[in-house]
Amino acid sequence: MTAVTHDFAAPRSRVLTAILGAGLTAGVFDFTIACVESGKPPLFIGKAVATGWFGKAAFQGGLDVSLIGVASHFAIMLCFAAAFVLASVREPALRRWFFIAGPLYGAVVFDVMRFVVMPLSAAGYGMPKPPVLFVEVAGHVFLVGLVIASWARAMLGRA
């Protein structure tokens, strides 16, 4: 019989650093992908995110609306990072196999955003067409999921 071990002894400061580092890094990468693939400036992308709160009226807003969108984007990414990091404390195999768990988690993040969060928001739902769809999925798999898992492993160890 194999004993199940959990890494509950991880110092809180390392867990918090993993969450903040993962959420902010993945957030920057995801936001950059949105800017590059759309060809739009960051303030426009901020307004696009803010449509989740304000609907299409967000595009008529100013800097304040853009900043609400940017803050919302990073808050969501920090929540996704926290979920993975805390799960990896409970299940260290997520850190040991980060190169598999991370990309799978990135695919889950993409699915949750596209099929749960966006349809429930004021932004409405729209699935991008290929090749943009492939860029978005790859971005979430490698620049969101793998980045989050890498931060968890780097800060909390292999286990």
In a domain, 45, yes or no: yes
Domain count within the chain = 1
In a domain, 126, yes or no: yes
In a domain, 119, yes or no: yes
In a domain, 113, yes or no: yes
In a domain, 6, yes or no: no
Quick one: pLDDT band at residue 41, thresholds 50, 70, 90? Answer: very high
Distance CA(14)–CA(36), nearest Å, equals 32
DSSP helix, strand, coil percent of the chain (3-state; round to 5) = 80, 0, 20
For the residues of 28-93, what is the DSSP string, one character each?
Answer: HHHHHHHHHHHT--HHHHHHHHHHHHHGGGGGG--HHHHHHHHHHHHHHHHHHHHHHHHHHHH-TH
Q: Radius of gyration of the chain from Cα atoms?
A: 17
**Domain span at residue 152?**
12-156
In a domain, 5, yes or no: no
In a domain, 50, yes or no: yes
In a domain, 62, yes or no: yes
Distance CA(60)–CA(105), nearest Å, equals 35
Per-residue pLDDT at 115 exceeds 60: yes
**pLDDT score of 159:** 74
- pTM, two decimals, is 0.91
User: How confident is the model over 60-85, as pLDDT tens digits?
Assistant: 999 999 999 999 999 999 999 999 99
Which tops the pLDDT comparison, 135 or 10? 135
